[in-house]
Amino acid sequence: MFIAMNRFTVPLENAEAFEALWLGRESHLDRMAGFVEFHMLKGPEADGMRLYASHTVWESEAHFRAWTRSDEFRAAHARAGDSRKLHQGAPTFEGFAAIQHLSADAAA
């Protein structure tokens, strides 16, 4: 399992507009091979800024890499300029590989 996160630092006065833009966008993820799930996450607030993170779970890093090379990726990011003026600096990308998994189901 591979998790792709993009971290956005958003001034509090832009938070509502930033959320509205994300919630209203057209996502093309559900057409992609290896896509598991996506969450938009609202994180902690500090110094007048709130941390947001897009959080996408893929079956593997290879599936994520294929997405970044796809037409659907380009289409999904074509309107990223609308969001850019709402957050500070560039979003920070972090990719994570799962090395351990514990689930509530396994305990049942």
**Chain residues in the site for a second copy (CB under 8 A):** 1, 3, 19, 22-23, 27, 29-31, 35-44, 51, 53, 55, 94-104, 106-107
Q: Which is nearer to a second copy, 40 or 66 (CB)?
A: 40
Q: 45 Cβ partners below 8 Å, 6+ apart?
A: 12, 51
Q: Are 42 and 49 in contact (CB under 8 A)?
A: no
Query: Smallest gap, in angstroms, from Cβ of residue 69 to a second copy?
Result: 19
Q: Are 8 and 87 in contact (CB under 8 A)?
A: yes
Q: Which two tokens stand for residue 20?
A: 């509205």
Q: Are 62 and 69 in contact (CB under 8 A)?
A: no
Q: Which is nearer to a second copy, 26 or 71 (CB)?
A: 26
Query: Smallest gap, in angstroms, from Cβ of residue 27 to a second copy?
Result: 6
Query: Smallest gap, in angstroms, from Cβ of residue 22 to a second copy?
Result: 7
Query: Smallest gap, in angstroms, from Cβ of residue 102 to a second copy?
Result: 4
Q: What are the Cα distances from residue 46, in Å, to 10, 51, 74?
A: 10, 8, 32
Q: Which is nearer to a second copy, 3 or 66 (CB)?
A: 3
